[in-house]
A and B are shown apart, each in its own frame.
Chain A
Amino acid sequence: MSEIEKKDQTSTHKIGIYLWIWGLLFVLSFFSYLVDWYQFQGLLRWSLILIFMFLKAGLIMAFFMHLFWERYALVNVLLWPMTAIACFIVLMVAEFKYTLFTRIFYFFIGG
């Protein structure tokens, strides 16, 4: 078993920061619920959904999962692989648009 020096693990954060983040998460969740409640549509809806989503995800990762206090070596190892996911997402958006286009064009519109 590796016993990492105990002394540094005892240093913790004030309870206030957790309560703050907790509260913020509730507020943000409420906001993203309101996006649906007021039936915003189009670009506004999408940007609001994504903003609230990333804020919530960021808060959870940074404070609840302690990434804010971790050393950059760990943070970077965790975040860089997301570029592969981002690339996958972007290309799949292009792909589904193309598939939808061919389906609608050849099966419904014709030419």
Chain B
Amino acid sequence: MSEEYENNKSSYQAQSSETISGDGASSAPDMDYVRPAEIGEQDLYHGHSFITKWIFCQDAKVIGVQYFLTAVFTGIVGLILSWLMRLQLGFPELAGFMTAEHYYQFVTMHGMIMVVYFLTALFLGGFGNYLIPLMVGARDMVFPYVNMISFWMFFIAVAVLMASFFVPGGPTGSGWTLYPPQAILEGTPGSGAGILLMLISLSLFVIGFTMGGLNYLITVLQARTRGMTLMRMPLTVWGIFTATVLAMLAFPALLVSSIMMTLDKVLGTSFFMPTILKAGEVLEYGGGSPILFQHLFWFFGHPEVYIVALPAFGIVSDLISVHSRKNIFGYRMMVWAIVGIGALSFFVWAHHMYVSGMNPWFGFFFATTTLIIAVPTAMKVYNWILTLWRGNIRMNTVMLWCLGFIVTFVNGGITGIFLGNVTVDVPLSDTYFVIAHFHMVMGIAPLMVIMGAVYHWFPLVAGRMLDEKLGKWHFWITFLGAYSIYFPMHYLGFIGVPRRYFEMYDSPYMTSAVGMNEFISLAAFIVGAAQFILIYNIIKTLKVGKPAGKNPWKANSLEWHTSTVPPEHGNFGDRLPVVHRWAYDYSVPGANDDFIPQTTPPSEVINTEVEKT
């Protein structure tokens, strides 16, 4: 695969040197006219010492990498927890050191870490910080100082979370949903310091994220470069932007429920606590409503699913388009689908609560709204595969991750229709089917995109190409392994095996699945271990990797057209780029090359049949 880049190197270099200074004097000024700048140049604070350059840094790109590394660290912790859980489930005789308390603590921490501290932070904090200013043509985020504080708040939140492993009683073991009364009741593992640290950590995360989120939103809304309209933005930016909107509006519910639960725990209020009889004694609580917590939690929790999924949708659209050398099919539809899914996600939260004992009539409302979301989501899937159709698909590692994403996402999306449709959900909820569904759709599928994005943008961040051969091994082991973990797991759910069971071998229909459970555990160990291939690959590449040069993938979007690779602080050198077209002009008939960067003015590609600008 790599020869093609070598062959085309000279041609793209010629192209890019012309296009970087694209707005200059050209033969047809009317044709290339772009409105003058509304906003003056942004003042940037350039770090002078090691500390201001790399630690308390105000450069969004460094902050992005900091977010990325911190999130990956928590992700590895989550991965190790999942290994321990799988060891217990597959080979309980080998996991003699694990008690039920440990198991439930690991379940809880694995869930919370992966959803909030790993995926959310990685997509929005990591990719968002790195890519938004580059892709919309800004010098930096609009409030660099606030952005820096945002990261350090996140860092403290992670530290507080990790501290809960070392306090007496250990971390909380109430399930990642932290349902009361369970979560703060004596007897639940970690119901003392553990749950408090978890709630504090979540509150810090929300506060820190709000600072970052304001930055992402205002950068996209108010700091785009000349010519960059919203409908010319790459879908990556659309995905991250919409996800940030959701986060800004959904995290308040989490903050509120955290505060209320903290008060229940510390002050003995009864927001969520009804009269409770525990070990023969009536507790001092009374009159509260556990269902209220569930509503607040899922009012946050469902948008949270899309906070993870939408950036993945956006990024994968870009990757597929670049690597199949074809414009993304139905760009406008894709944008509206992202926005529509985001908006609808605030009206569907209680489909997580069909069997929770809420007002039974809600089932009709939420089943309907939930299944409406299936339509824009399905449109996105069609558009991805239609982008492949009649393209020129580079079967490199990045594309493999994208294809893996399509398979796992379609699989998980369709099981989502099972669980969103109220009647079908009743027998399946709280079984392994649910586990299989959400791991497939918001665990594996976004992870595939993250991996693809790492292979895609690593040349930009580090200036070197990751090893393709190692990358392919990494992909196949991860994809096949992960698929064989979660695909059979659906069938455990059909049998009726409930979630969150520490042991499960004493009922006839569960006994039949012993062999499968062992197989799933083995696959989980292998898939987890395979992730270290990537870490090895990165370390190796940083030392001896092939230099990437400028724009190795021959992509159109602005991040590949910076003054230097990797881009320096300020991103674009002396002059900000001027945008003349959308990011997807690949293989335009009549063009010399199979891509036309966003900065190329129309007068330079006058003979091409460009349809949309």
- Seen from chain A, the residues whose Cβ lies within 8 Å of a Cβ on chain B are 1-4, 81, 84, 87-88, 91-92, 94-95, 98-99
Contact = CB atoms under 8 A, between A and B. Distances in A.
Interface in B326-352: 346-347, 350
B25 interface: no
B295 A84 contact: no
Given A81-B249, A94-B359, A95-B358, A87 B347 contact: yes
Interface residues of B, number: 21
A95 B142 CA distance: 42
Across the A-B interface, the 9 shortest Cβ-Cβ residue pairs: A84-B346, A98-B359, A2-B39, A3-B40, A1-B43, A95-B359, A94-B359, A87-B347, A81-B249
Interface of B: 38-40, 42-43, 142, 222-223, 249, 289, 291, 295, 299, 346-347, 350, 358-359, 361-362, 365
B346 A4 contact: no
Contacts of B361: 94
Nearest to A97: B359
Nearest to B345: A84
Nearest to B349: A88
Given A2-B142, A95-B291, A95-B295, 10 more contacts: A1-B42, A2-B222, A2-B223, A81-B249, A91-B362, A91-B365, A92-B295, A94-B359, A94-B361, A99-B289
Residue from A81, A91, A99 whose CB has the most chain B CB atoms within 10 Å: A91
A95 B295 CA distance: 10
A84 B223 contact: no
22 contacts: A1-B40, A1-B42, A2-B40, A2-B42, A2-B223, A3-B40, A4-B38, A4-B39, A84-B249, A84-B346, A84-B347, A88-B299, A91-B350, A91-B362, A91-B365, A92-B295, A95-B295, A95-B358, A95-B359, A95-B362, A99-B291, A99-B359
Contacts of A88: 299
Contacts of A94: 359, 361-362
A108 B275 CA distance: 15
A98 B43 CA distance: 57
B303 to A, nearest CB: 9
A96 to B, nearest CB: 8
Contacts of B39: 2-4
A15 B295 CA distance: 46
